[in-house]
Amino acid sequence: MFFSVRSDRWHHSLIYWALCFLAFGLGINVVVTLWEGSDIGFFSANTVFTVITALVFATGLVSNLTKDLNFFLLFAILACLNIAFCIQPIVMWTDEGNLCSGLSAAEQERGRECYNAAVGAMDVNGQTTSFNNLVTLVTQCYSNNDILSETSGICYNVRWGQSTGNALRAFMFISWFLQFMGTFISIICCVIEIKTYAVLKIHYNRVDFLIQKSTLQFFRDYTCQDGKTDFHEFENLLNTITQKEHVE
């Protein structure tokens, strides 16, 4: 059965909120990338973060529907990995903002000339527009003109202008924040689910023990009263049966 017979707990409902955050974050990522092209480093240089986020979403959905411990364990592992991979995008986003605030109006104008020249050079040479190639050309031009450069490469005012640049950076941060919060909530829910499952297994084992003990006691009394001698045979048979793994 694909859907679990277990009733939903409050953290199962919370997982759906986490999945919604992940879905909206990925949606912004895809829309902005398709709209603006592949030269936005925040998105194009962080493919791993996007892929892991998609895997967290898919695994979380299956885990919540099946309530299967194995899927929840995978869900937890991927979510923890995603927390690690989410660091690079926000560092890049911050570096780009610091670079932009460090440039005067005159330096931004020279930087814009560098950017336009780099884009033109790539178009003339027929190169595929690549964020890494573009950054290399622009930062070389920055260096030649004594303009501050950072690893993120291009000031957003240089690339898009102040208005468009601020809007895109806002969408970048919203996308990152939604994915981060979705991942963080997923980790919390995974911990709760794994702990809940462990408690259930303890209860099941206790019930099995009590059933076995009661059954053995019943047959012990029965065999003693009637003078039967097959008690040990029944005990061995019951032990063989109870060795099978119990499924929730």
Q: What is the pTM of this model?
A: 0.72
What local confidence, expressed as pLDDT, does residue 43 receive?
A: 74
Nearest-angstrom CA–CA distance, 26 and 29: 5
What local confidence, expressed as pLDDT, does residue 245 receive?
A: 40
What type of residue sits at position 240? T
Q: Are 208 and 37 in contact (CB under 8 A)?
A: no
Spell out the domain ranges in the chain. Answer: 10-198, 204-242
What local confidence, expressed as pLDDT, does residue 246 receive?
A: 43
Nearest-angstrom CA–CA distance, 47 and 55: 12
Calculate the alpha carbon distances from 202 to 10, 114, 171, 215 in Å: 21, 66, 47, 20
Q: Averaged in consecutive runs of 10 residues, what is the pLDDT profile of the chain (248 residues)?
A: 58 90 93 75 78 94 87 93 91 84 82 82 60 77 75 75 86 94 94 80 66 68 56 58 46
Calculate the alpha carbon distances from 161 to 10, 73, 99, 126, 169 in Å: 46, 45, 14, 26, 12
